[in-house]
Amino acid sequence: MTIHPIESRYGRDEIRRIFNDESKLQFMLNVESALAKAHSTVGNIPKKDAEKISNKANLGYVSVKRVKEIESEINHDVMAVVKALSEQCGDSGKYIHLGATSADITDTALALQLREFIKFLLDDLKRLKRTLLNLAEKHKNTICIGRTHGQHSIPTTYGLKFAIFAAEIQRHINRVKECKPRILVGQMTGAVGTQAGFGKKGIRIQELTMKFLGINSVLVSNQVIQRDRHAEFLLNLALISETLNKIGTEVRNLQRTEISEISEKFLENQVGSSTMPHKRNPVYAERICGLSRVIKADAITSLENIPLWHERDLTNSSCERIIIPEACILVDYILNLSIDLLRNLVFNYENIKKNLEMSQGLVMSEAVMIKLVEKGMNRQDAHELLRKCAMESYEKKIPFRNVLLKNPEILRYMNEREIIFALNPGNYIGTAVEQVEIVLRELG
């Protein structure tokens, strides 16, 4: 029986596997194994005992079922792992977990989980960036109306939209890479962080344990790895999700019946509504936007995990069992959903053109104003003149061109050919194409 939708509906199996009970247990066993090797290396325990612990520290010997049985008796998850592993190691079991505290194992194991996840995360982001760059290149000359405050403004291009999104995804790639050294760290600091349980070789034991695991050690810590690290990572996931929210919101708006410039691909047998047979809803984009709210909420919770009492408390532990797997699984899911959505976007070029022309030329008022200034008119005078012409066109519902061609003040500066040229959207997209080409060169 499944309860949470990420168990069956939202998420990829390969990501779920990183955070399932079996993987979590194996990562914890890996840490216990590395700790035993470190003790052996510094001469604290016999090499043969460390080797036996390492040989038994896998799911072939220590099962989730057995760990849960022990936990049900003692009510302590990490000690249940220690006991289950000790059962398999005979007399060598007395050296398992020597000097360590629970958080040394769980926090370090979490770093190992996140290391695996980040590989997928960076791959997702790179594939999404490539998808956006392909769209930017394909549509760098697809002229459409730009909108500010939900109103028609001046022409832009679809290529520029996608280039802006691609540049934002690149920043997320940079952020994830930058935070890896801060999040992929482990510790062996023992109770309250003094390493007293490890003796004088505590710092070396920590260094060796992390070396065997292939991650860095904390510089200094108490009984838990400090939660600013995890909060930073979840905030990065929230930033990624909000970019996807922004992309999804743009698709949803542009798919509105009244706009209908682009839309999600609609499958041959797809059903849009259980009661309205005609519906073609932007379900992917809406799902992306909806799940981004959960990821953002998880990030907010991670901030509240930073101020723990004194050297530690457990208030972070329970919620992290939820928020970290949930945020990771959902971010990966909506990243892949976004790639699928964007690769299959349907463009309605007829409506793109119709919307561009909907205002009967009013959206070209700035272009005319700039031309008047080039011809010698004061910029503020030109703005006021064009504002009055625009209001006349709007209120009388007549083409802007007609208003301009009968205005003597404008005709003093511009002839009919120049007015018609200025009213052509294709002549007023500025450096949009060049900007897209710059993005393609820089990020391609």
263 as an active site residue: the answer is no
149 as an active site residue: the answer is yes
**By CB neighbour count within 10 A (0-12 exposed, 13-18 middle, 19+ buried), where does 161 fall?**
buried
Q: Which residue type, as a one-letter code, is found at position 49?
A: D
State the Cα–Cα distance between residues 174 and 171, nearest whole angstrom: 5
For residue 75, CA distances in Å to 69, 294, 317 come to 10, 30, 15
Residue 431 CB neighbours (<10 A): 10
- Least Cα distance to 166 among 442, 432, 431 occurs for 442
Residues 6+ apart with CB under 8 A from 147: 153
User: Looking at 33, 76, 273, 393, which residue is catalytic?
Assistant: 273
Element (H, E) at 88: helix 77-89
**By CB neighbour count within 10 A (0-12 exposed, 13-18 middle, 19+ buried), where does 134 fall?**
middle
The pairing of beta strand 346-347 with beta strand 262-263: antiparallel
Helix ranges (DSSP H) in 139-282: 158-183, 202-213, 228-254
User: Looking at 72, 149, 278, 310, which residue is catalytic?
Assistant: 149
Element (H, E) at 143: strand 143-148
Rama region for 148: left / alpha / beta (φ>0; ψ in -120 to 50; rest): beta
Report phi then psi at 281, rounded to 5.
-85, 150
Q: Which residue type, as a one-letter code, is found at position 265?
A: K
State the Cα–Cα distance between residues 71 and 349, nearest whole angstrom: 62
The CA R_g of the chain, rounded to the nearest whole Å, is 30
- 146: helix, strand or coil: strand
In contact, 207 and 214? CB cutoff 8 Å: no
- What separation, in Å, do the N-terminal and C-terminal C-alpha atoms of the chain show? 45
Residues marked as catalytic: 149, 273
